């Protein structure tokens, strides 16, 4: 077996030397546990927070220990009724080839319905995040104009398409390359998209949303958030999902300069954590799985091969190398 450990706490953008890759014995399951051979592991932006010591909503990873996070694989050995070798499952002991995991922390998935990898993305945590943000937090209603930042990523692709499928007046996305902009408008049906690296976000958003925005799904923070406040219509709702533009900052940077507009525009700005909304998973899957299998909701995955390349996959995720969900095939 092989696992990826946190060797050093990254300063700024993580480097290879912050990780160590260690071969270990294949562990054995005790009573109540399963041995799972991981097939896919998820690398996610929130893990950057766990690599830091600073207290946040996610516990820091321990130095010298294997990291963890979403994983999907096959049960190899089971000591538990209801789980048998061959079952496909998702669980939270990623960053390793083999996991011994308590059965109560494992969910069976139907790999006939959709590919196993999709349960880490469009039908998993990131898809649920998009659905929760749009419905429970932004209270999306048809005829809203919706702006999604980080739009070509795992959460953003689902958030924008769901808004469009449910009758949004206009869906606008921002992303970091011309190819991603093309993907959003030509493949995913966004009404407009722009490359935030091409010029000031506020000017590009004003052009893409001449009548303003009613919902902002924020994955990026920083300049994007300031631009969204500027473009917001009265009573607009902001679902604040993440602020990836700040994750590698080594010191606090000034926030939006236009916060006073929150008052005049009477904005609703709400942060959320998908982990508080796990109870919505069945409703989400019931609604979104048919859209995925029916082809109305498209999803993309960027798959990197080999557990030894997991640190690079994570570094590349922060750099924008992915379109849709970034995964490592073990």
Does residue 313 interact with ligand NDP by CB under 6 A?
no
Return the residue nearest ligand NDP (CB atom): 153
Residue 109: partners with Cβ closer than 8 Å, 6 or more residues away: 72, 88, 89, 90, 116, 119
Nearer to ligand NDP, 35 or 315 (CB): 315
Of 160, 173, 176, 256, the residue at the interface with ligand NDP (CB under 6 A) is 176
Burial 213-224 (b: 16+ CB within 10 A, else e): bbbbbbbbbbeb
User: Per the structure block, which two tokens stand in for 300?
Assistant: 């993309």
Choose the binding region for ligand NDP from 14-22, 28-36, 174-182, 278-286 (rule: CB under 6 A): 174-182
Neighbouring-strand partners of residue 173: 148, 193
Nearer to ligand NDP, 83 or 196 (CB): 196
User: Per the structure block, which two tokens stand in for 216?
Assistant: 């902002």
> Considering Cα of 29, then 33, then 38, then 43, what sign does the dihedral take?
negative
Phi, psi dihedrals of residue 32, rounded to the nearest 5° = 85, 0
- Tell me how far apart the alpha carbons of residues 270 and 258 are, in angstroms, rounded to a whole number: 17
Does residue 20 interact with ligand NDP by CB under 6 A?
no
CA distances (Å), origin 216, targets 111, 255, 296: 34, 17, 23
Other beta carbons within 10 Å of 30: 9
Q: How far is the CB of 155 from ligand NDP (least distance, A)?
A: 3
Of 124, 127, 173, 242, the residue at the interface with ligand NDP (CB under 6 A) is 242
Of 46, 102, 136, 262, the residue at the interface with ligand NDP (CB under 6 A) is 46
Choose the binding region for ligand NDP from 103-111, 200-208, 268-276, 292-300 (rule: CB under 6 A): 268-276
Which residues in the 104-163 window bind ligand NDP by CB under 6 A?
126, 129, 150, 152-156
User: Which residues contact ligand NDP (rule: CB under 6 A)?
Assistant: 44-46, 126, 129, 150, 152-156, 175-177, 180, 219-220, 241-242, 244-245, 272-274, 317-318, 320, 322, 326
């Amino acid at each position: 077996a092989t696992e990826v450990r946190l060797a050093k706490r990254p300063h700024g953008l993580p480097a290879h030397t912050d990780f160590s890759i260690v071969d270990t014995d294949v562990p054995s399951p005790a009573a109540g546990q399963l041995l799972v051979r991981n097939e896919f592991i998820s690398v996610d932006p929130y893990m950057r927070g766990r690599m830091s010591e600073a207290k946040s909503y996610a516990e820091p990873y321990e130095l010298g220990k294997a990291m963890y996070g979403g994983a999907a694989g096959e049960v190899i050995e089971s000591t538990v009724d209801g789980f048998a070798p061959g079952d496909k499952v998702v669980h939270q002991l990623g960053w390793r080839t083999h996991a011994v995991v308590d059965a109560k922390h494992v969910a069976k998935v139907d790999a006939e319905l959709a590919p196993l990898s999709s349960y880490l993305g469009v039908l998993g945590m990131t898809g649920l995040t998009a659905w929760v943000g749009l419905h429970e937090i932004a209270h999306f209603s048809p005829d809203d104009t919706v702006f999604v930042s980080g739009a070509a990523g795992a959460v953003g692709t689902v958030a924008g398409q769901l808004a469009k499928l449910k009758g949004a007046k206009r869906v606008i996305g921002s992303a970091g390359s011309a190819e991603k902009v093309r993907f959003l408008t030509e493949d995913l049906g966004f009404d407009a998209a722009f490359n935030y690296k091409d010029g000031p976000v506020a000017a590009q958003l004003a052009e893409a949303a001449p009548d303003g925005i009613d919902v902002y799904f924020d994955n990026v923070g920083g300049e994007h958030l300031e631009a969204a406040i500027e473009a917001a219509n009265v009573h607009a709702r902001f679902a604040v999902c993440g602020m990836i533009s700040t994750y590698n900052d080594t010191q606090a940077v000034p926030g939006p300069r236009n916060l006073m507009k929150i008052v005049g525009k009477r904005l609703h700005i709400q942060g959320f954590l998908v982990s508080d909304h796990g109870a919505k998973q069945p409703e989400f899957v019931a609604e979104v799985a048919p859209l995925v299998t029916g082809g109305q909701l498209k999803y993309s995955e960027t798959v990197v091969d080999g557990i030894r390349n997991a640190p690079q996959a994570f570094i590349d995720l922060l750099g924008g190398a992915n379109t849709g969900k970034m995964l490592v095939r073990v």
